[in-house]
Structure 1
Amino acid sequence: MARLSDMVAVVTGGGRGIGREIALQQAREGAKVAVLARTVTEIEETVSLIKGEGGQAIAVSTDIIDLAAVENAFARVVSELGPVDVLVNNHGSFQGFGPIWECDPLVWWRDVEINLRGTFNTCRTAAPKMLARGGGRIVNLVGGGTGNSFPNGSGYASSKAAIMRLTECLNDTTIGNDVRAFAVDPGLVRSAMTELQLSSEAGKTYLPGIQKLFDDSVNVEPSRAALLIADIAAGRFDTLAGRLLRGVDDRDALAEEMDAIVAADGRALRFSSVEQGKL
């Protein structure tokens, strides 16, 4: 039997790129998949690909920052597929490039709103129902700037660091009832988001390092994150709930290191041990 048989998975931002690969992999593992995004044609194409491989999926067009729309989307998922077991928050925006005094403040804030508020909305909608059923797994995608400075990418970085902390707080609130939350950094993936960084004048001016990374062959296949998230959905990494997992991780090695990571309180947003002692 497939590992995710009888499970229902919701994947946001599932119309292309990393999200599409995550949705496909969830379906390959046996899950019924709801593909959420704003662009109908893209999510319908993802659903068509899933069905072409013999899977079951529906496309649900949703504005992720509209809480009522998110609640309606989840109600439809439950009605058509069943209760949600796995939520993957893959949606993301990164269009505010440059120093904050050069960025359009509305664009900067829109990045934060889509990334952070969108994740809040889906978690707020899904978590209570998972708690009522006694289990579930939530995966929130993070990225550049989560644990380090990201010059000229402050809106994206701030939102992703906030999602990491939200993930930790959510997990610590719900894990007692077997609802676990995880953060996943897929790594640098060639996607519509990175193409904008590479092609726009602002991207070329303020984020030239992205092109250099690709020139140096730093290009993580989206399947790495998709396979990792399938493992998370199947419970392989429950020990690391509330922590950061990466698409570039060797999954077998990571499984062997889980207890050591927890003992060292690794893969988390923390002050250094020296600084902790001063507080």
Structure 2
Amino acid sequence: MARLTDTVAVVTGGGRGIGREIALHQAREGAKIAVLARTATEIEETVALIEGEGGRAIAVTTDVTEYSAVESAFARIVSELGPVDTLVNNHGSFQAFGPVWECDPLVWWRDVEINLRGTFHTSRAASPTMLARGKGRIVNLVGGGTGNSFPNGSGYAASKAAVMRLTECLNDTTIAQNVRAFAVDPGLVRTAMTEMQLSSEAGKTYLPGIQKLFDDGVNVEPSRAARLIADIASGRYDALAGRLLRGIDDRDQLEREMDSLVATDGRALRFTAVEQHKL
């Protein structure tokens, strides 16, 4: 039997790129999939691919920045597929490039709204049923700037660092009821988002390092994050709840290192106990 048989997974931003790969891998493991995004044609294509492989999926057109729309989406998902076992927050936006004094304030804030507010909305909608059932996993995708500075990418970096902290707070609040939250960094993947960074004048001006990384051969396959997230959904990495896992990780080695990572408080966005004592 596939590891995720009789489970329901929600994948936001599932119409293309990393999100589509995540949805396909979850479906291949037996999960029923709700694919969420704003563009109906793209998520319908993902659903068609899943159904073509014998899986079950529905397309739910949703703007994650609108909470009423998210609530309606989850009500439909529960009605058609059943209660949600795994929520994967893959939606993301990175359109504000440049120093803060040159970024359009509305574009900068829109990145934050989609990345952070959208993740709050979906997590808020999914959590009550998970808590009532005493099980569930929430996976939040992060990225560049989560744990370090990202010059000329402040909106994206600040929002993804905030998503990491939200993940930790959520996990620490719900783990006693067997609901866990994880952060996943898929690595540098060639997606529509990165293509815009490579082709736009602002991207060429302010983010030349992206092109250099691709030129140097850094190009992580989206299937790596998708396989990792399927492992998370199966419970393989439950000991690492509240922490950051990476698409580039060797998954077997990661499993072997779990106890050490927990003991040393690794993969977390927080001060060590000694540093906290000094504050």
Q: How far off its partner does 1:59 sit?
A: 0.2
Give the partner amino acid of 2:135: G
Aligned to 1:269: 269
Q: How far off its partner does 1:270 sit?
A: 1.6
Write the deviation string for residues 98-135 of structure 1: whole angstroms up to 9, x where unpaired.
00100000000000000000000000000111000110
- SS of the equivalent of 1:58 reads strand
- SS of the equivalent of 1:4 reads coil
Aligned to 1:125: 125
Aligned to 2:41: 41
Aligned to 1:116: 116
| In structure 1, C-alpha distance between the alignment counterparts of 2:86 and 2:151, rounded to whole Å | 34
Q: Where in structure 2 are there 5+ consecutive unaligned residues?
A: none
- SS of the equivalent of 1:182 reads strand
| In structure 2, C-alpha distance between the alignment counterparts of 1:35 and 1:24, rounded to whole Å | 10
Q: What are the within-5 Å matches in structure 2 for residues 216-235 of structure 1?
A: 216-235=216-235
Aligned to 1:215: 215
Aligned to 1:20: 20
- SS of the equivalent of 1:78 reads helix
Q: How far off its partner does 1:149 sit?
A: 0.2
Q: TM-score, normalised by structure 2?
A: 0.99
| In structure 2, C-alpha distance between the alignment counterparts of 1:18 and 1:278, rounded to whole Å | 41
Aligned to 2:55: 55
Q: How far off its partner does 1:256 sit?
A: 0.3
Aligned to 2:157: 157
Backbone CA RMSD of aligned residues: 0.7
Aligned to 2:4: 4
Q: How far off its partner does 1:278 sit?
A: 1.4
**Count, aligned residues:** 279
| In structure 2, C-alpha distance between the alignment counterparts of 1:179 and 1:72, rounded to whole Å | 22
Identical columns (%): 83
Give the partner amino acid of 2:93: S
Give the partner amino acid of 2:4: L
| In structure 2, C-alpha distance between the alignment counterparts of 1:127 and 1:142, rounded to whole Å | 20
Contact 2:265-2:272 at 8 Å conserved across structures = no
Q: How far off its partner does 1:271 sit?
A: 2.5
Contact 2:6-2:31 at 8 Å conserved across structures = yes
Aligned to 1:72: 72
- SS of the equivalent of 1:232 reads helix
Aligned to 2:249: 249
| In structure 1, C-alpha distance between the alignment counterparts of 2:157 and 2:125, rounded to whole Å | 24
Aligned to 1:188: 188
Q: Where in structure 1 are there 5+ consecutive unaligned residues?
A: none
Q: How far off its partner does 1:272 sit?
A: 5.1
Give the partner amino acid of 1:276: Q
Q: How far off its partner does 1:276 sit?
A: 2.6
Write the deviation string for residues 179-214 of structure 1: whole angstroms up to 9, x where unpaired.
000000000000000001000000000000000000
Q: TM-score, normalised by structure 1?
A: 0.99
Aligned to 2:107: 107
Aligned to 2:84: 84
Moved over 2 A (4+): 271-277
- SS of the equivalent of 1:11 reads strand
